Structure 1
Amino acid sequence: MRLSAYMRLLLLGCLLILTGCAMAPSRSSVPAAEAGHTIHLMRYGWHTALLFDGNDILSRSERLRTDLRPAPYILVGWGDGEYFVRDDAPWSKAVKALVASDYPAMQAGRRDSNPPAGVAAQDSLPLAITSRGMDQLVAYIDRSIALDGKGQPVYLGAQPDHPDRFYQGNGHYSLFNNCNSWIVGALRAAELPISGINLTASSVFEQAQQISALQQQMRTERTAQAGAAP
Structure 2
Amino acid sequence: MKKYLKKTARFTAYVLGSLTGLVLLYIGAAWLLSRVPVNRHAAPAGDTAVSIYIRTNGVHTDIVTPVRNAIKDWRPDIPFTNTGSGDTAMAYIAFGWGDKGFYLQTPEWSDLKFSVAFKAMFHLGSTAMHTTFYKTMSTGASCKEIRISATQYGKLVAYLEGSFCKDDRGKFIAIATANDGYGDDDAFYEAKGVYDLFHTCNTWANNALKACDQRACLWTPIDKGIFYQYRER
TM, length-normalised to structure 1 = 0.72
Instruction: Point out the structure with max Rg over C-alpha.
Output: 2
Quick check: 1:181–1:199 contact (8 Å CA) kept in 2? yes
* 1:105 partner amino acid: A
Q: Where does residue 217 of structure 1 map in the other structure?
A: none
Q: Where does residue 174 of structure 1 map in the other structure?
A: 196
Q: Secondary structure at the match of 1:132?
A: helix
Which residues of structure 1 form unaligned runs of 5+?
1-5, 214-230
Q: Secondary structure at the match of 1:82?
A: helix
Q: Where does residue 153 of structure 1 map in the other structure?
A: 172
* 1:188 corresponds to 2:210: yes
Q: 1:205 to 1:124 in 2, by over 3 A?
A: same
* 1:44 partner amino acid: N
Q: Structure 1: how far apart are the matches of 2:123 and 2:96?
A: 20
Quick check: 1:30–1:193 contact (8 Å CA) kept in 2? no
Q: Where does residue 143 of structure 2 map in the other structure?
A: 124
Deviation at 1:185, TM superposition (A): 1.6
57-66 or 191-200: bigger deviation = 57-66
Deviation at 1:152, TM superposition (A): 3.6
Quick check: 1:31–1:129 contact (8 Å CA) kept in 2? yes
Say how many residue pairs are matched. 201
Q: Secondary structure at the match of 2:104?
A: coil
Q: 1:95 to 1:36 in 2, by over 3 A?
A: same
The structure 1 residue matched to 2:68, chosen from 55, 65, 68, is 55
Q: Where does residue 228 of structure 1 map in the other structure?
A: none
TM, length-normalised to structure 2 = 0.71
* 1:17 corresponds to 2:51: no
Between the aligned residues of both structures, percent identity stands at 20
Q: Structure 2: how far apart are the matches of 1:96 and 1:44?
A: 22
Q: 1:155 to 1:121 in 2, by over 3 A?
A: same
Q: 1:35 to 1:138 in 2, by over 3 A?
A: same
The structure 1 residue matched to 2:55, chosen from 42, 47, 53, is 42
Q: Secondary structure at the match of 2:164?
A: coil
* 1:83 corresponds to 2:102: yes
* 1:137 corresponds to 2:164: no
- Please provide the CA RMSD for this pair: 3.3
Q: 1:57 to 1:77 in 2, by over 3 A?
A: farther
* 2:149 partner amino acid: T
